[in-house]
Amino acid sequence: MLKGREVIMRNKKLMVSALALAMAMGLSACSSTAETTTEAATEAATEAATEAATETAAEAESEESAEAEASDSDNVLLMATTTSTDNTGLLDYLQPLFLEDTGIDLQWTAVGTGDAIQMGKDGEVDIVLVHSRKQEDAFVEEGYGVERVQVMYNDFIIVGPKDGPVAVTEDIESVFKQVMDESLTFVSRGDNSGTHNKETGIWEKLGITDYESNENYISAGAGMSDTINMADEMEGYCLSDRGTWLSMAADLPNMQIVCEGDDNLLNQYGVIAVNPEKYPDVNNEAANTFIEWICSPEVQTLIGEFGVEEYGEPLFFPNAEQQ
């Protein structure tokens, strides 16, 4: 492959050869007819040499551009993640630290866990950071992910109107039964996210299969922050991760936590590198670097401290060491 300096030197040699040929042909001309013929030949030779040099330079430029793009892609990590890691500001907090420590630029798309895992299945990203264990395990078992590594956790809560009919409790089942029995407004994520899957799992555990028949059951098909805002506007209830709620609570004075602390509300996050055997073009090296980095004691400490100064409590609890 020709480098920039080699291309310049070769182009110069081509041009010099063309000019030398033109001069030689010009000196050998003996008549006006010969001179005309020589001039035409010289022009043709010069044009041919110039065209060849231009093509060579374009090819070299294209090759160098491809090399630069490949080099740049080595320094970028594409992630699909759940909305809570984005809404809380956690990734905004970690991204510049990761770049400083590794030279790798973390770029992410925040969607529901189901959509994030689908992006991994489609080979659109290098890594996924999500929170739905059943879906995560299936992702690995089906060969799309290499290995699931737990990173951190927080918990789910039920939020609703302060003057609403649901009394504050630690019993999530009693809340769901009251919502159903009294046809209370309940806003669901409705997007196959980790939060949505947790909600449907609770309904199933209660043996309630017709919860969508509640005329006040709203399937938002939206992210966590939008779902919370809808519940506030409709004076209804919704299941939320604690981190997103804490990041929004100050702007929602009429809402409160009505249920927390139930063992069924644990919210564990896992990180999984997309399998390079299925998608050879993924940046597996950068993915592994990120996993090692986010599970390191130093970064785990940072995760545990995130949110304490602003909200008085952490938004996530690190537990990578508890694999």
- Structure confidence by residue, pLDDT tens digits, 223-246: 999 999 999 999 999 999 999 999
User: Per residue in 131-180, pLDDT tens?
Assistant: 999 999 999 999 999 999 999 999 999 999 999 999 999 999 999 999 99
* 73 vs 11 pLDDT, higher one: 73
What does the alpha-carbon distance between residue 179 and residue 211 come to, in Å, rounded to a whole number? 9
SS3 state at 98: helix
210 pLDDT tier (thresholds 50, 70, 90): very high
What pLDDT does 47 receive?
Answer: 66
Cα dihedral 75/306/199/268 (nearest 10)? 70
What does the alpha-carbon distance between residue 300 and residue 190 come to, in Å, rounded to a whole number? 31
SS3 state at 160: strand
63, pLDDT greater than 60: no
From 1.10.12.10, 1.10.1740.10, 3.40.190.10, 3.40.50.2300, which CATH number describes the 154-265 domain? 3.40.190.10
48, pLDDT greater than 90: no
Mean pLDDT, the chain, rounded, equals: 85
The token pair that represents 77 in the structure block: 């990590």
309 pLDDT tier (thresholds 50, 70, 90): very high
What does the alpha-carbon distance between residue 161 and residue 53 come to, in Å, rounded to a whole number? 74
- Model confidence, pTM: 0.73
Look-up: residue for tokens 């400490």? 301
213, pLDDT greater than 60: yes
Contact 296, 152 (CB under 8 A): no
Contact 135, 113 (CB under 8 A): yes
The token pair that represents 285 in the structure block: 């090296």
What does the alpha-carbon distance between residue 93 and residue 98 come to, in Å, rounded to a whole number? 9
What pLDDT does 44 receive?
Answer: 57
Nearest Cα residue to 27 out of 39, 14, 16 = 39
Contact 220, 226 (CB under 8 A): yes
What pLDDT does 271 receive?
Answer: 98
Span 201-213, average pLDDT: 92
71, pLDDT greater than 90: no
What does the alpha-carbon distance between residue 284 and residue 281 come to, in Å, rounded to a whole number? 8
Span 34-43, average pLDDT: 52
As beta bridge partners, residue 318 has 152
What pLDDT does 45 receive?
Answer: 52
What are the residue ranges spanned by the domains of the chain? 4-73, 75-153+267-322, 154-265
Q: Do the domains 154-265 and 75-153+267-322 match in fold?
A: yes
Cα dihedral 170/173/174/180 (nearest 10)? 140
46, pLDDT greater than 70: no
SS3 state at 165: coil
Topology of the domain comprising 75-153+267-322: D-Maltodextrin-Binding Protein; domain 2 (3.40.190)
What does the alpha-carbon distance between residue 189 and residue 114 come to, in Å, rounded to a whole number? 12
Report how far Cα 86 is from the mean position of its chain's Cα atoms. 10
Give the Cα-Cα-Cα angle 103, 106, 109 (nearest 5 degrees): 170
The token pair that represents 104 in the structure block: 């790798």
What pLDDT does 133 receive?
Answer: 93
Report how far Cα 38 is from the mean position of its chain's Cα atoms. 65
* 70 vs 222 pLDDT, higher one: 222
What does the alpha-carbon distance between residue 35 and residue 22 come to, in Å, rounded to a whole number? 11
SS3 state at 256: strand
